[in-house]
Structure 1
Amino acid sequence: MSTGGAFGGNRGARPVPPEKGVFPLDHLHECDLEKKDYLNCLKSGGHLSEKCRQFSKKYLECRMEK
């Protein structure tokens, strides 16, 4: 029988984080304009995300494209 699996895993190997996640952080600031538009909308709209849905959509589209 092997020593590992569901109860112990591979204790000798260090986990490596993924290079990019589902929505990686915008380290290169490629979508700053969309992010600022969304945050400004939230501030002016009383932090109600429903009112800023179009800005949220534009920001997420930008993140998925880049």
Structure 2
Amino acid sequence: MSTAMNFGSKTFTPRAPDKGAFPLDHFGECKAFKEIFMTCLKNNSFNSSKCRLQSKEYLECRMQHQLMTQEPLEKLGFKDLMDPPPRPAEENAKL
């Protein structure tokens, strides 16, 4: 005799995750960016913090080709890469 009982008929309706899953790049539109990012990861012992610029460029490509939802890069954690680098005082004096 089985000890498992089925109370009611609940059904499970799967839904896609909010973030983290997106369509595959079947046409290879962002393959070059992916390869650059993966090479960077391999060269840096898979320390993704050293490949943030390549990651940003890859995600930008995916958004441009509608392979993921358009998101502000600041919301994806790239705010520090959005601001222009500060100029040295010598360059500011020339302007």
Measured against the shorter chain, the TM-score band is 0.5 to 0.7
- Deviations along 1:8-66, one digit per CA (max 9) or x if unpaired, are 48xxxxxxxxxxxx632101000011000000000000100000011011001101110
- Give the 3 Å change call, closer, same or farther, for CA 8–40 of structure 1 in structure 2: closer
Q: Is the 8 A contact 1:34 1:59 kept in 2?
A: yes
Larger RCO: 1 or 2 (CA < 8 Å, sep 6+): 1
In structure 1, runs of 5+ residues without a counterpart are 1-6, 10-21
Structure with max Cα Rg: 2
Matched, 1:36 2:35: yes
Q: Report the TM-score when normalising by structure 2.
A: 0.47
RMSD, aligned α-carbons:
2.1
Where in structure 1 do 4 or more consecutive aligned residues deviate above 2 Å?
none
Aligned residues: 50
Q: Report the TM-score when normalising by structure 1.
A: 0.66
